[in-house]
Structures are given as structure tokens and as C-alpha cells.
Amino acid sequence: MKKIFLLFGLITFATLLTNAQQLVKPENGREKIKMLEIGYFTRQLRLSPNEAEKFWPLFNQYRQELKRTVRDGSISDELERQQRILDLRKKYRKDFGNVLDTERGAQVFRTEDNFKAIVRREMQQRGKMRQNEVPHQK
């Protein structure tokens, strides 16, 4: 009986993995980064399934407000834009703390900054590798 469950689990895992790989094709770079981000945040913040269910809608709401603030054409002063971003982060730090706990709520922005730095480094390395590639001669 255990072997049947193990076999079923392996088949299910293989099917899910195949489906995920089909969704994340090289041309879908943003989707791939989003999936990597979800995994990174989940590990770094140690999100339980229940916490993740509450966290991700809140985080997505924060990201939408952040984008609107960054793109707000009515804010001409850069310091004013930075202040509004800071105010937004303070507001959401409290909200994240209510969903998780105070410590992990405060860690969300550090995790976000670290993930952005990792992606930025990876993109820079890939850019350097492309520059060093020698075009094939015919």
C-alpha cells in the first residue's frame, strides 16, 4: 500500500513539475522571476501555507501601490516621492506584522531588497557573458 502512495506521489510531483516548466519558458522571464521570488520569500520568511494565503494578496497590494507612487507624475520633487515610498513601507510593515509577526513583518522589505539585488547581479552577469560571447563566423 505504501508503494502505491509513493508511486502516486512521484507521478503527481512529476506532472506538476512538467506543468510548471511549460509555464516558465525562457520567453516568460517575468513569470519565472515571479515564481523564483515566491519561493525565495516563502523560504526567507518561513511562510506557512496559512500565512502565505494571507501574505501574498497583501504583498501584491503593496506592490501595486508602490508602482503607482513611483509612476505618479504629479510628484515632481524626488525627495517627496521617496518620502511617500517610505510612508507606504511603514504602513505595510505594520500590516505585514499583523499577518506574520512583528519580526518577520519587518523582514519583508529586507527580503525584497535582497531578492532584487540577487536578480540584478544575475542579470549583470548574464549581460557580461553575452558581451564576451564571440559571434559565430560563417
109 part of a folded domain: yes
pLDDT (0 to 100) of residue 135: 63
Residue 115 lies in a domain: yes
In a domain, 2, yes or no: no
Q: How many CA atoms lie within 13 A of 42 on its CB side?
A: 13
C-alpha cell recorded at residue 97: 506584522
Checking phi first, is residue 41 left (phi over 0); if not, alpha (psi -120 to 50) or beta?
alpha
Closest listed residue to residue 41, CA positions, set 24, 16, 21, 58: 58
Residue 17 lies in a domain: no
Provide the 3-class DSSP secondary structure of residue 133: coil
Residue 32 lies in a domain: no
C-alpha 121: how far from chain center = 15
- Count of domains forming the chain: 1
Instruction: Return per-residue pLDDT of the chain as tens, 138 residues.
Output: 555 544 454 455 445 444 444 444 555 788 888 999 999 999 999 999 999 999 999 999 999 999 999 998 898 899 999 999 999 999 999 999 999 998 999 999 999 999 999 999 988 888 877 777 756 555
**Cβ neighbours around 60 below 10 Å, total:** 10
Residue 112 lies in a domain: yes
15 within domain boundaries = no
Q: Where in the sequence is the domain holding 73, given as residue range(s)?
A: 48-123
Residue 80 inside a domain? The answer is: yes
